[in-house]
């Protein structure tokens, strides 16, 4: 079939112009000159922070500054064992830097695989190049789903329609003619063509805005914002408590200067939850590395957390539940149409579109081209129209105009051809109608009065992993909604094959208001004939009812919904536009990877909630002890070495293992409230019990040199209560959790039993009465903790 080349100029009704020589683009020499002048699109697109930014973020923190100053003071006035907390902070910071650097390398390597590579025409040859290698005046070819990566001017148009809604907010696609401006951040929804770049690099301001808005928009992270809120509260508590402690130890008590300084620092250091931020960063970083091994590109770290909070996932059928390719299984001529002639029409239609979608590609594969037909007018397929069309001059000079698309869109509701279509749809088959129309393609309603000629039956390839993935979501109480542009009955049949029950709903009958649509979405599961704008409206309607929504898709018709969803998940083989707006890209196109992402998010959130409680219990009891010491005017009971050992055994080591353990518990909202309601009573009970033991020991041990015995008794009580907090946090028990708690208890026993360690940590239990009293106080405190925790669990909503 003779047919105009993709570069021919067309107007909005897409008449095909006579063949003309198309621009060849820049020559190699012209490209080299522009590179030498710096006219290159050199705006860096980074998937993560640089090494310098990672180091600064982990080292230059408020709490590191506090700890660093106190560490230097202790190195000058006290034995090395009282400065151990500084070495622990150095190790923690190093671990944080290494893990985040590993995560950065994983992200960067995956980003290179998943980045868009525009097609540039140079010396007459179309070549894919990285975005960073585009130069000024390059001629860039574009087709459906391609993202406009730099600003330019349209040079060729073949039914070219561009969606600029992400920039302008206008939902309707814009028809582009040669000479029209194209803006970076927009994307092609129909047709194809080419444009000449006019702004590259940092001059393309719109490109920078689009990149920030689409690819690196920060997902809201309740975890990170909650930890920031907690740290703000901790700072407010620390300042007055530390000032009072300094005054008490240096002025009120007549201790030696070095001992007073050591005990002052010992009271201030444990107030800082220094490991909490570290473990959060490490948990996120390791999550990225784990998902990277499964070929999941996490473009925004908090997206891991966001997907764990999702309670509704909206799935596009094509490319998500089904594989991208299709096969023509049957051709059914209607009303006595000649099958040989129908095949020639279909072959010509296939050749008329230089940018075929999956359905048209299956037709191209099944039906050969008719060499003696010439395309004189074309109408590219769009998701909004649900059909495409072309007009041909046949060998005898007769002009015929044909439409190919959704039968229920092209035909009236009472047309008998729809009954046959319905029976095929019920089998899960996709059906396209070939119809001849008497109207020109530039008519506002070209399908009016169309004569049905044949049904093209297509079989979609179900993803083998789709059923298991849908079952996983059902087991995890995440509702799945199938939202597709295909026929509702066909979509419902496919969903039923995958075990997803529910009546299929035709989206054209959905109410327009957000509240009414939300109610329909609550009851429905499968929706067909959904337009791109409706997909966006559905996501908004679900969100308006308090749902956290994830949207998956691979086509250009999914872009608007992916952008508005709480979490957008794109297939790696999808269009550039979908990959650009999504927070997570499944590079291996495996729908089965989604459970891994959900599980990773739940692991991060659930475990950080656990360990945050551990850290904040320590902060609360440290502040409370400082206040009680100030009020009673006594020496602070601990040296830094005591609290370093306690923190390591009851918080540091256990928290590291608990933060990285499997956790399938669904993420719950109100992170700060949930953490504080457990850590405050836990810290108060631990602080009061420790101080009570300390006062009893001061009364029991009298005389010079008894401070060490008093400290040892208080340390025993605090360790036992802290171990009970750890035992509660470690629930539900598994063999390794029991072993972890037991190992920490055994390590403390070793410290008490080995003389060298007793001396190193200044711990020695004197007599029998006081140690057993310390144990008794700890038992009472642990019973109170258990009772308080059970009451809080009973009152906490699920």
Active site residues: 316
Phi, psi of 576 (to 5 degrees): -60, -40
Taking the C-alpha atoms of residue 186 and residue 555, their distance in angstroms, rounded to an integer, is 14
Pairing mode, if any, of strands 584-586 and 567-571? parallel
The residues near 605 (Cβ < 8 Å, ≥ 6 apart) are 223, 305, 308, 309, 667, 671
Instruction: Kindly write down the DSSP assignment for every residue of 491-540, as one continuous string.
Output: HHHHHHHTT--S-EEEGGGS-SSHHHHHHHHHH--EEES--HHHHHHHHH
Taking the C-alpha atoms of residue 190 and residue 98, their distance in angstroms, rounded to an integer, is 46
Angle, CA 80 vertex, CA 263 and CA 711 arms, to 5°:
35
| 234 touches 273 (CB < 8 A) | yes
CA dihedral 252, 256, 262, 264 (to 10 degrees): 10
Q: Is 585 helix (H, G, I), strand (E, B) or coil?
A: strand
| 380 touches 389 (CB < 8 A) | no
The residues near 363 (Cβ < 8 Å, ≥ 6 apart) are 328, 346, 349, 350, 404, 432, 456
The residues near 502 (Cβ < 8 Å, ≥ 6 apart) are 492, 495, 524, 525, 526
How many other C-beta atoms are found inside a 10 Å radius of the C-beta of residue 57? Answer: 15
The residues near 487 (Cβ < 8 Å, ≥ 6 apart) are 406, 407, 408, 421, 425, 430, 431, 528, 529
Instruction: For 622-687, give the secondary structure using H, E and C.
Output: HHHHHHHHHHHCCCCCCCHHHHHHHHHHHHHHHHHHHHCCCCCCCCCCCHHHHHHHHHHHHHHHHH
| 639 touches 266 (CB < 8 A) | yes
Instruction: Kindly write down the DSSP assignment for every residue of 474-497, as one continuous string.
Output: HHTT-EEEEE-SS-HHHHHHHHHH
Alpha carbon of 480 to those of 498, 547, 584, 663: distances in Å?
A: 12, 12, 18, 22
| 586 touches 114 (CB < 8 A) | no
Q: Would you call 374 exposed, middle or buried from its count of C-beta atoms within 10 A (0-12, 13-18, 19+)?
A: buried
| 327 touches 362 (CB < 8 A) | yes
Taking the C-alpha atoms of residue 339 and residue 762, their distance in angstroms, rounded to an integer, is 96
Residues facing 568 on adjacent strands:
551
What sign results for the dihedral spanned by CA atoms 70, 72, 77, 79? Answer: positive
Taking the C-alpha atoms of residue 678 and residue 558, their distance in angstroms, rounded to an integer, is 42
| 263 touches 638 (CB < 8 A) | yes
User: Which of 273, 232, 277 minimizes the C-alpha distance to 616?
Assistant: 273
Alpha carbon of 599 to those of 148, 496, 546, 569: distances in Å?
A: 35, 26, 22, 15
Residues facing 179 on adjacent strands:
none
Q: Would you call 69 exposed, middle or buried from its count of C-beta atoms within 10 A (0-12, 13-18, 19+)?
A: exposed
How many other C-beta atoms are found inside a 10 Å radius of the C-beta of residue 499? Answer: 12
Q: Is 733 helix (H, G, I), strand (E, B) or coil?
A: coil
Residues facing 331 on adjacent strands:
456
| 627 touches 698 (CB < 8 A) | no
């Amino acid at each position: 079939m003779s047919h105009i080349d993709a570069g021919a100029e067309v107007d909005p009704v897409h008449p095909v112009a006579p063949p003309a020589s198309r621009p060849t683009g820049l020559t190699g020499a012209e490209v080299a000159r522009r590179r030498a002048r710096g006219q290159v699109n050199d705006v860096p697109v980074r998937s993560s922070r640089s090494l310098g930014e990672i180091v600064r973020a982990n080292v230059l923190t408020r709490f590191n500054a506090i700890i660093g100053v106190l560490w230097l003071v202790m190195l000058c006035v006290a034995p090395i064992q009282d400065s151990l907390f500084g070495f622990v902070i150095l190790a923690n910071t190093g671990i944080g830097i290494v893990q985040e650097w590993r995560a950065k390398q994983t992200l960067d390597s995956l980003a290179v695989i998943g980045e868009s590579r525009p097609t540039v025409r140079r010396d007459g040859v179309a070549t894919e190049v990285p975005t960073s290698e585009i130069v000024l005046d390059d001629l860039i070819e574009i087709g459906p789903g391609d993202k406009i990566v730099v600003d330019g001017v349209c040079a060729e148009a073949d039914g070219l329609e561009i969606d600029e809604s992400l920039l302008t907010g206008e939902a309707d696609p814009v028809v582009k003619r040669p000479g029209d401006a194209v803006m970076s951040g927009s994307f092609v929804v129909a047709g194809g063509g080419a444009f000449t770049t006019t702004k590259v690099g940092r001059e393309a301001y719109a490109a920078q805005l689009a990149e920030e808005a689409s690819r690196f928009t920060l997902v809201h992270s309740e975890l990170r914002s909650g930890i920031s809120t907690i740290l703000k509260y901790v700072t407010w508590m620390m300042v007055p408590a530390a000032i009072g402690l300094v005054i008490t130890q240096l002025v009120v008590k007549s201790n030696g200067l070095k001992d007073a300084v050591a005990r002052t620092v010992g009271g201030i250091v444990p107030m800082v939850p220094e490991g909490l931020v570290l473990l959060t960063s490490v948990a996120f970083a390791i999550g990225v590395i784990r998902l990277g091994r499964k070929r999941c590109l996490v473009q925004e770290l908090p997206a891991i957390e966001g997907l764990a909070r999702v309670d509704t996932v909206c799935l596009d059928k094509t490319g998500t539940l089904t594989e991208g390719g299709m096969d023509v299984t049957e051709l059914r001529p209607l009303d006595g149409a000649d099958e040989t002639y129908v095949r020639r029409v279909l072959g010509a239609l296939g050749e008329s579109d230089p940018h075929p979608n999956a359905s048209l590609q299956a037709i191209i594969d099944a039906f050969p081209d008719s060499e003696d037909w010439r395309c004189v007018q074309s109408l590219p397929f769009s998701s909004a129209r649900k059909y495409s069309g072309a007009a041909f001059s046949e060998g005898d000079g007769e002009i015929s105009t044909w439409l190919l698309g959704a039968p229920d869109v092209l035909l009236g509701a009472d047309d008998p051809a729809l009954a046959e279509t319905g029976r095929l749809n019920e089998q899960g088959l996709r059906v396209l109608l070939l119809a001849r129309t008497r109207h020109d393609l530039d008519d506002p309603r070209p399908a009016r009065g169309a004569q049905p000629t044949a049904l093209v039956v297509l079989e979609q390839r179900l993803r083998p992993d789709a059923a298991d993935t849908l079952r996983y979501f059902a087991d995890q109480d995440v509702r799945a909604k199938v939202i597709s542009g295909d026929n509702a009955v066909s979509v419902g049949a496919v969903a039923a094959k995958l075990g997803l029950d529910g009546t299929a709903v035709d989206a054209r009958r959905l109410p327009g208001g957000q509240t009414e649509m939300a109610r329909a979405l609550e009851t429905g599961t499968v929706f067909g004939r959904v337009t791109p704008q409706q997909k966006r409206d559905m996501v908004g309607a679900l969100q308006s009812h308090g749902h956290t929504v994830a949207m998956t898709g691979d086509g250009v018709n999914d872009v608007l919904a992916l952008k508005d969803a709480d979490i957008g998940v794109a297939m790696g083989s999808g269009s550039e536009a979908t990959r650009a707006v999504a927070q997570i890209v499944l590079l291996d196109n495996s729908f089965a990877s989604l459970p891994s992402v959900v599980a990773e998010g739940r692991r991060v959130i659930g475990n950080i909630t656990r360990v945050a409680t551990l850290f904040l219990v320590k902060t609360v009891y440290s502040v409370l002890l400082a206040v009680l010491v100030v009020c009673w005017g006594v020496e602070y009971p601990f040296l830094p070495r005591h609290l370093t050992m306690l923190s390591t055994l009851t918080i540091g080591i256990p928290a590291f293992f608990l933060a990285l353990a499997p956790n399938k518990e669904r993420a719950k909202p109100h992170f700060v409230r949930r953490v504080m309601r457990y850590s405050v009573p836990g810290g108060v009970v631990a602080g009061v019990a420790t101080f009570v033991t300390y006062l009893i020991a001061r009364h029991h041990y009298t005389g010079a040199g008894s401070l060490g015995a008093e400290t040892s008794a208080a340390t025993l009580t605090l360790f036992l209560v802290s171990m009970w907090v750890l035992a509660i946090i470690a629930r539900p028990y598994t063999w390794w959790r029991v072993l972890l708690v037991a190992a920490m208890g055994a390590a403390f026993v070793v410290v008490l039993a080995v003389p060298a360690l007793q001396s190193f940590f200044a711990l020695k239990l004197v007599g029998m009465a006081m140690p057993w009293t310390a144990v008794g106080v700890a038992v009472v405190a642990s019973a109170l903790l258990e009772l308080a925790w059970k009451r809080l669990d009973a009152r906490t909503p699920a």
